[in-house]
Chain A
């Protein structure tokens, strides 16, 4: 490995110092880090709320809180996790840090807009928190804000809705920035099909952000109008249609699920070739499956509403389209497995997370088909089964994808290496705790445990207790992982430019990268995953 980093040359972290230079940074890597720190704080807050809910449910009856507190907690947990952590998550953090470098650009297309969207995001996040602590009751309508409850209940719903609206605006601006960046800023010679696959997944994601978010934006504004001006768009008492609200909400919020998962798929698509030292299997199918997921995912929202009163025709239509989404997702899974097949697999922490991503995502995906089929959905709708399913997809998929990205690009971002063994142990806790926490919820859901319930029938006692134990193990794993990463930002061993022997462009620049990424914009002459670089030969 080359040791040219020993002289501590100027890089994006040290070329300017001071808090102000960070708060006004237009460098995409710094903005990515600002997002990372904000998201970590919010993620930990919401994770603590989740653990508190699980502790509450460890015994029958009140354990540590009242039912109203519990309702407020799951609402806040949902709002923070969905709108503040998971939807922006990978795109805002690793998209910002890596996308321009991976396509050979010096920055995103609109650096100032990028900084602006960070502040819009922070404003939205603060509004969300403020809604909890402002005068009056904390919102308790869940993160879906279903009308008529959200239109009538006497809690700070308007603040929470404004928060979601503002966060959506930030998401639109990031998506817009990425689309233009990918269209206009690729290095000379980087044709569309020479672009690495993480940027491809961000491209698909950005279109969803751009085209779906405005719909939920206006919907949330209509709920605000309903509460303040008493125009009953959705409230049946005033002549409105509550099912219409659900349609409009899910027209955005189902595609939003793909905003969460597509970048995670992109991350593991980068990780498998690197740690197998083998070109990715089926580049084009992966590209087109990303686009197919984005496109088809737009037309499946109705599967959230099988029990809400829809015509027979819409039910089979939405069910059928939902099954179609499984095809591109499965194509990706087979491609990842085939990439590892016959490669020289190096089981480092990023790969551990990527493999567990496949495992958890597959369980989440199959249970998704259970929910996509009308008959079984009617049985398990609004039970813990749904909660387990989407945690397997969102936490097991996007969450583990995020951790994979963190462990993969960490040496690039900080120029230091975390403790590998420590990372592996933390992964063990996370993976074990995760399954102990969520798997029992599938079982209890099938047995009839409703979601969002504060209390439960004695027959669920065992399952609930196991699940609570899992939550504690998972949380220990989280703390261990974050401690490892934070501790080694300054104290870790120096990382070389390319510790994992990757071949995409970000590994060809020093760690940490210089302020403007490249001294000279590279000229691309071939496909992204060709493993004959000097680093591999050295190995």
Chain B
């Protein structure tokens, strides 16, 4: 069965050109922005309602780790963009190396996040805990939004990491090359989105106190 399936696939895939594939990715990125957009609306409404509580709660967040992670993600966005240029110039090993660096940076981001979440759990500042229940409603809201927004973002980091791993293996095996780099480009676009969303999350959660 797999042979017929494959022939059908190649039959169809000859019509998917780079522009088409990229357009699909851009539209998908729009939907991601709208997904987070819903959370930003709730954030805006709640911030207007509980300005004071949000101020206090935001002081609990570690702006240093947040800032570090911002730099980490920005650099990773650069390395993934460089890897794309490398593959377009047929520098396969350099491309693999740069994607690997991107993955390492994604790992650093997640490790930082682990310590950050861990610290919150030590302080029993997680949804449903007794400490949380006794906080003023605005602070509960802030931490709820904090965990939901950064959690959803972290999920995107993980998905992006898996995607980049697949891309790295395909670059290695030569399936992604100078002529065929659509997946690579789309993966890089996705990784930029992950970066972009964090750039909005960071000031909203960590900096506005």
Tell me, yes or no, whether B162 is within 8 Å of chain A by CB: no
Tell me, yes or no, whether B1 is within 8 Å of chain A by CB: yes
Q: Which of A79-105 contact B (CB under 8 A)?
A: 105
Which residue from chain B places its CB closest to the CB of A184 in the assembled complex? Answer: B20
Tell me, yes or no, whether B50 is within 8 Å of chain A by CB: yes
Tell me, yes or no, whether B35 is within 8 Å of chain A by CB: yes
Which residue from chain B places its CB closest to the CB of A241 in the assembled complex? Answer: B45
Contact size range, B = 35 or more
Complex Cα gap A443–B68 (Å): 65
CB distance from B18 to the nearest CB of A (A): 11
Contact between B39 and A241, CB atoms less than 8 A apart: no
CB distance from B6 to the nearest CB of A (A): 11
Contact between B38 and A215, CB atoms less than 8 A apart: yes
Contact between A109 and B140, CB atoms less than 8 A apart: no
Contact between B30 and A211, CB atoms less than 8 A apart: yes
CB distance from B117 to the nearest CB of A (A): 14
Contact between A239 and B38, CB atoms less than 8 A apart: no
Contact between A248 and B140, CB atoms less than 8 A apart: no
Residues on B with beta carbons closer than 8 Å to the beta carbon of A20: 1
CB distance from A152 to the nearest CB of B (A): 15
Residues on B with beta carbons closer than 8 Å to the beta carbon of A26: 8-9, 12
Contact between B137 and A176, CB atoms less than 8 A apart: no
Residues on A with beta carbons closer than 8 Å to the beta carbon of B133: 230
Residues on B with beta carbons closer than 8 Å to the beta carbon of A24: 1, 5
Residues on B with beta carbons closer than 8 Å to the beta carbon of A176: 24, 27-28, 31
Given A176-B27, A239-B50, A184-B148 contact (CB < 8 Å): no
Tell me, yes or no, whether A110 is within 8 Å of chain B by CB: yes
Complex Cα gap A532–B87 (Å): 54
Please, what's the 1-or-0 string for B16-50, where 1 marks a CB less than 8 Å from any CB in chain A? Answer: 11011001100110111011111101100110011
Tell me, yes or no, whether A204 is within 8 Å of chain B by CB: no
CB distance from B204 to the nearest CB of A (A): 16
Contact between B28 and A111, CB atoms less than 8 A apart: no
Residues on B with beta carbons closer than 8 Å to the beta carbon of A466: none
The binding surface of chain B is classed by DSSP as helix
Tell me, yes or no, whether A271 is within 8 Å of chain B by CB: no
Contact between B30 and A239, CB atoms less than 8 A apart: no
Complex Cα gap A111–B24 (Å): 12
Contact among B28, B35, B140, B141 with A218 in the assembled complex (CB-CB below 8 Å): B35
Contact size range, A = 35 or more
Q: Which of A110, A213, A229, A239 has the most CB of B within 10 A?
A: A239
Residues on B with beta carbons closer than 8 Å to the beta carbon of A230: 127-128, 133
Contact among A112, A113, A172, A221 with B31 in the assembled complex (CB-CB below 8 Å): A172
Residues on A with beta carbons closer than 8 Å to the beta carbon of B28: 176
Given A215-B38, A239-B50, A180-B141 contact (CB < 8 Å): no
Which residue from chain B places its CB closest to the CB of A252 in the assembled complex? Answer: B38
Complex Cα gap A210–B30 (Å): 8
Residues on A with beta carbons closer than 8 Å to the beta carbon of B12: 26, 106-107, 111-112
Which residue from chain A places its CB closest to the CB of B31 in the assembled complex? Answer: A214
Complex Cα gap A110–B42 (Å): 34
Q: Which of A215-252 contact B (CB under 8 A)?
A: 215, 217-219, 221-222, 225, 229-233, 238-241, 244, 248
Complex Cα gap A240–B141 (Å): 8
Tell me, yes or no, whether A260 is within 8 Å of chain B by CB: no
Contact between A218 and B137, CB atoms less than 8 A apart: no
Complex Cα gap A281–B62 (Å): 64
Residues on A with beta carbons closer than 8 Å to the beta carbon of B11: 516
Given A185-B15, A218-B38, A231-B30 contact (CB < 8 Å): no
What are some 18 contacts across the A-B interface (CB < 8 A)?
A24-B5, A26-B12, A109-B16, A179-B27, A180-B20, A180-B27, A185-B20, A210-B27, A215-B34, A217-B35, A218-B36, A218-B38, A221-B148, A229-B127, A232-B144, A233-B144, A238-B137, A239-B137
